[in-house]
Amino acid sequence: MPFFACNRNRHCFQQSNIQVCEIEWMISSRMFTTPIHLRRSLSRAHINYTLAVHFSGIFLPWHRHFIWLWEQALRDECGYTGYQPYWDWPLWASNLTASPLFDGSDTSLSGDGEYDPDEHLVDIDGYKFPRGSGGGCVKTGPFKDMQLHLGPFETEDGYADSLRPDAFRYNPRCFTRSLNNYMATTFTNQECVNRLLESKDIIDFQETLNYNPTMTGIAGIHGGGHNTIGDVMSDFFASPQDPAFTLHHGMIDRLWAMWQAGNVSRRHAMHGTSSIWNSQKSSPVTLDTVLEFGVLGPPKTMRELMDPTAFSYCYRYT
Ligand SMILES: [Cu+2]
């Protein structure tokens, strides 16, 4: 049996009784100040680069490194001894409220928001879907009464050439959620996961992430997943304010890592440019393309981000 030198094991949140004490530690109110500070830096950086790192050739490696920087910060600055967990979407898609992620317990990522009778339908590019079961402020679990300061952004902001001038305005408000089983069972079910893993090439893989194969032009498993727990997580720019963000992207990174490992030709497969929908008519990405992370960390080339066991990485999904 080959010896696998990288033993930074990233576990599924729901299966990880191993990690409960570490997760508990990571999100416990004792440690609130530093992780919240980190989360704000994370959200600001995400806003800053949103128009480059989505619907582009750098989406996957940029988000891989983004959550790795978060994991590192938790370990270096907060004493966290575990690794970034992931959210295995299909396990609880039909009953999010019962999921260990969102059951509102002390070891969850907090629960649903309070019921808001006026909550709107889910709107993805003009297509309407049933609303979730909350919509109001989160009042249970470790992130209850958390204040958000960034966003919200509008759908149109994603189609602009540049960031809106007030993109970083201070806008304090409560943290809301709306768990939505309809969205989860429609966009992040096991068939969606299987279809992604069966992608024949990187173009197909990215298209399946971005667009649902059975609904023309509608969000795929990435955007659809963002729309399963309410307005904060579905904010195209400011979504890292929901603690579920890094777990959602942990799952995307896991599926990309699994797909990459399926065939040697996939290791360095890439497609697209470094601007959203190629709006800036940028050059196609190569292994030498440099990705920026602002205050979170030094720039990285694509080459450094393509393999979870190479360069500064040494992790695997279990
Ligand atoms: Cu993103």
Distance 231 CA to ligand 1 centre (A): 15
Q: What is the pLDDT of residue 20?
A: 44
Contact in structure between 274 and 57 (CB atoms under 8 Å):
yes
Distance 186 CA to ligand 1 centre (A): 21
| pTM, full prediction | 0.93
Give percent of the chain with pLDDT exceeding 90.
68
* Correct CATH for 8-317 of 3.40.190.10, 1.10.1280.10, 1.10.8.50, 3.40.640.10: 1.10.1280.10
Distance 51 CA to ligand 1 centre (A): 10
Distance 120 CA to ligand 1 centre (A): 23
Distance 152 CA to ligand 1 centre (A): 15
Q: What is the pLDDT of residue 94?
A: 97
Distance 80 CA to ligand 1 centre (A): 24
Distance 111 CA to ligand 1 centre (A): 22
Distance 50 CA to ligand 1 centre (A): 6
Q: pLDDT band at residue 125, thresholds of 50, 70 and 90?
A: confident
The residue ranking higher by pLDDT, 217 or 222, is: 222
Q: What is the pLDDT of residue 190?
A: 96
Distance 60 CA to ligand 1 centre (A): 9
The CB-side HSE value for 43 (13 A sphere, CA atoms) comes to 28
Nearest to 213 by CA among 196, 236, 234: 196
- Mean pLDDT score across all residues of the chain: 89
Q: What is the pLDDT of residue 23?
A: 52
108/13 Cα distance (integer angstroms)? 9
Distance 105 CA to ligand 1 centre (A): 27
The residue ranking higher by pLDDT, 40 or 193, is: 193
Q: pLDDT band at residue 234, thresholds of 50, 70 and 90?
A: very high
Residue 85 corresponds to which tokens in the numbers above?
A: 């967990």
Residue 34, pLDDT above cutoff 70: no
Distance 108 CA to ligand 1 centre (A): 22
Q: What is the pLDDT of residue 35?
A: 62
Residue 41, pLDDT above cutoff 90: no
Backbone dihedral angles phi then psi of residue 127, each to the nearest 5 degrees: -90, 130
